[in-house]
Amino acid sequence: MIEVIREIIDSLKKRVPEAFLKEGEELPEIPIKEKLERVAEPVPFNRFYLTEEFPPHIDPSDLIPAISDVPEELQEDKEVRKEVEKYGTDALGWYQPFHFFESSWGIFIRWRGIKFLAYLLNKNGQKESYVELMKHAFKLIHSHEYFHFLTEWAT
């Protein structure tokens, strides 16, 4: 499993190098209150529980509102880019641990984060329909956050 994860990371580093920290660079800490105030439009779903499938099968078309309203030519969201530069992938989506957020724990994914990652995938050579790019972006963000859930669940 670790080898598969390393292969995925290496592949992503080649395709989307700007999504990774440079040597010696650190992400700033995001106070949870600021994070919640800053993000107003997470995709509306609550939480995912551990299943035998990794990651659990989720059909992004069931979760992403108005996927057909996305223009065929994805545009860069400069505001989200600045947030990613400042906060890292937490600007796209995040996991709130059940150990600290009993009533509001779960995976939260921003709609604008999905569109931004779809734009990056397209810009870096992933030539598919915008709907497929949106689905890939959703699955990437969800898989990342689901890993955080599994890590917490294992502790």
Q: pLDDT digits over 35-50, tens only?
A: 544 444 444 443 443 3
In this structure, the dihedral spanned by the alpha carbons of residues 70, 20, 53 and 101, taken in order and rounded to 10 degrees, is -90
Pull the structure tokens for residue 84: 């990613």
pTM of the predicted structure, to 2 decimals: 0.59
CB 106 within 8 A of CB 47: yes
Mean pLDDT of 39-64: 47
Say which residues have a Cβ less than 8 Å from residue 104's Cβ, sequence separation at least 6: 96
Mean pLDDT of 44-65: 48
Q: Band the pLDDT of 117: cuts 50, 70, 90.
A: very high
Of residues 108, 96, 97, the one with CA closest to residue 154: 97
The answer on pLDDT for 133 being more than 70 is yes
